[in-house]
Amino acid sequence: MGIMRQGQRVVTGLHARLYRWSGGRIGASARGIELVLLTTVGRRSGAERVTPLAAVPWGENLLLVASNGGAARHPDWYLNLSAEPRVRVQRGPEVRPMIARTAQGAEREALWQKAIEVNAAFDGYRHKTDRELPVVVCEPSG
């Protein structure tokens, strides 16, 4: 594992711990963008994985963009929820079970527009890679 990836994991882990410890009072936003904690199940390990992510509220749902900073590969959290769509999302102090799905076709295009209206960085990431950035819809389960 490269030094950059190790550093990213340390920062991500620290962010997640501060967010949880503070009930979302620390780490729930950055530059006006809402941040959540996404808990997935590792597709190979079966262990829970927690990732802080920028989120776009959409009614009762949340939109997540699998940008991976514009890297050529999908982020691990996206590969994990593709294998097991039952996830947990913490927004501030509230933790909710949700079902994640990847938007397709016209729905994806409409949600992509919503996502870049809220967070223009996603559009910048899109220009850094040849892959289509998945738009994930997290819907309350049950």
Domain harbouring 52, CATH code: 2.30.110.10
142 against 52, higher pLDDT? 52
Domain count, the chain: 1
Res 5 pLDDT > 90: no
Angstrom CA distances, 139 to 1, 13, 58, 87, 103, stand at 33, 25, 10, 10, 12
Q: How far apart are CA 39 and CA 122, in angstroms?
A: 21
Q: Which residue has the higher pLDDT, 26 or 39?
A: 39
Query: Assign residue 32 a region: left if phi > 0, alpha if psi is -120 to 50, beta otherwise?
Result: left
Pairing outcome for strands 94-102 and 86-91: antiparallel
CA gyration radius for the chain?
A: 14
What pLDDT digit, counting tens, does each position of 80-138 carry?
999 999 999 999 899 999 999 999 999 999 999 999 999 999 999 999 999 999 999 99
Structural domain including 89 reads 3-140
Question: Distance from first CA to last CA of the chain, Å, rounded?
Answer: 39
Residue 51 CB neighbour total at 10 angstroms? 19
